[in-house]
Amino acid sequence: MSFKERIFHSVLFEIIALLCFMVAASFVTTADTKSVAGLAIGLSMIAMTWNYIYNLIFDRVYGENRASRGLKMRIGHGLGFELGLVFVSFPLMMWVLQLDFWTVLIMDAGVVIFFLVYAIVYNWCYDTIRSRFIPMVAAS
Question: pTM of the predicted model, to two decimals?
Answer: 0.62
Residue 13: closest CA among 112, 124, 122: 122
pLDDT digits (tens, 9 = 90+) for 28-37: 777 777 777 7
In whole angstroms, how far apart are CA 74 and each of 15, 25, 78, 127?
21, 27, 6, 11
Q: Where are the alpha helices (DSSP H) in the chain?
A: 3-28, 33-62, 71-97, 101-133
Express each pLDDT in 57-111 by its tens digit. 888 888 777 777 788 888 888 888 888 888 878 888 888 878 889 988 888 888 7
| Torsion of Cα atoms, 127 then 45 then 8 then 109, to 10° | 20
Confidence band of 138 (pLDDT split at 50, 70, 90): very low
Question: Domain segments of the chain: what residues?
Answer: 35-98
| C-alpha torsion sign, points 131, 137, 71, 114 | negative
The amino acid that residue 74 corresponds to is R
Residue 136 pLDDT: 59
Cβ neighbours of residue 76 under 8 Å, at least 6 residues apart? none
Q: What is the mean pLDDT of residues 111-134?
A: 84
Q: How confident is the model at residue 139 (pLDDT cuts 50, 70, 90)?
A: very low
